[in-house]
Amino acid sequence: MTMGSLDGVGLIEVRQDVYRNIVSLRASRDLFDDLSDDPGDWQAAIQLEIAHKPPHYQSTQPLIHRPFEEAGYHSAVRYPFDNWSQSRYSRGSFGVWYGAPELETTIYETAHHWRHGLLADAGWADIDGVSIERRVHQVYCRAALINLLPYTDRWPALRSNDYGPCQALGERLHREGHPGLWAPSARCEGIVSVAFTPNILSDPRTSCFLTYTLRAGKVAVSRQPNTVFMTI
């Protein structure tokens, strides 16, 4: 399966928030709560850990370096560019960031990969009650992106489970310095934003938390515990 010439492929000016849906806990867990039932002991353990951290883990200008803000940017934007992996538009030789202008599109995409990727590999794809927690960020995207939407029907490879043609396209466009794509989702009728560089992404903010749970062969999606608002 191949895709045709890029002659005539146009650009779309994107200046808007897009959703980024990633694995994350709804509530942070204390790393030392399994050692004692006394919160005072947890704090003492944290202080002991800090005291024994190597110097390069400690900021010399803590009022200027803002680790929590940096952590938010890293998880919402930077992570895939620092941790390369294979995906629809990359063979794993460079990082790609995926988002969507609609929340529902990110749910369809990530629920598919969770169930048919991670859980299938572990042999858990049909076990009721298996769940995962996720955080959804809104991230501002500003770029002239290559617009593949007019080619949705002409190039079936854009929505195929065979990633080869899309990976070849992504590799070429990344090598030529294009910032990203505006492409059809393979899992629903939505749109996917594809970034080849973090330079077009900014201002990450938490939008909501989600929980995915396998129920009767489908993925039930909840924003609030025990309240399903969408089933795939």
Q: In percent, how much of the chain has pLDDT > 70?
A: 79
Q: Look at residue 209 and tell me whether its pLDDT is greater than 90.
A: yes
Of 8-12, 24-28, 41-45, 88-92, the least confident: 41-45
Rounded CA separation 178/89 (Å): 13
Looking only at Cα atoms, what is the longest distance across the chain?
66
Asked if residue 165 is part of any domain, the answer here is: no
More confident residue, 226 or 99: 99
Of 34-48, 69-83, 134-148, the least confident: 34-48
Helices (DSSP H) in the chain: which residue ranges?
39-51, 67-73, 79-82, 103-113, 120-122, 164-175
How many CA atoms lie within 13 Å of 44's alpha carbon, on the beta-carbon side?
Answer: 7
- Per-residue pLDDT band at 71 (split at 50, 70, 90): confident
Domain that holds residue 64: 11-87+102-146+197-231
Asked if residue 93 is part of any domain, the answer here is: no
Rounded CA separation 53/61 (Å): 16
Residue pair 179/200 in contact by the 8 Å Cβ criterion: yes
pTM: 0.81
Q: Look at residue 186 and tell me whether its pLDDT is greater than 90.
A: yes
In order of 112, 131, 162, the CA distances from 118 in angstroms are 10, 12, 18
Q: Look at residue 66 and tell me whether its pLDDT is greater than 80.
A: no
Asked if residue 218 is part of any domain, the answer here is: yes
Write down the pLDDT at residue 36.
59
Asked if residue 171 is part of any domain, the answer here is: no
How many CA atoms lie within 13 Å of 138's alpha carbon, on the beta-carbon side?
Answer: 10
Domain count, the chain: 1
Write down the pLDDT at residue 57.
39
Asked if residue 95 is part of any domain, the answer here is: no
In order of 46, 47, 67, 69, the CA distances from 51 in angstroms are 9, 6, 17, 23
Count of beta carbons in the 10 Å neighbourhood of residue 4: 11
More confident residue, 160 or 60: 160
Report the chain's terminal Cα–Cα distance, integer Å: 28
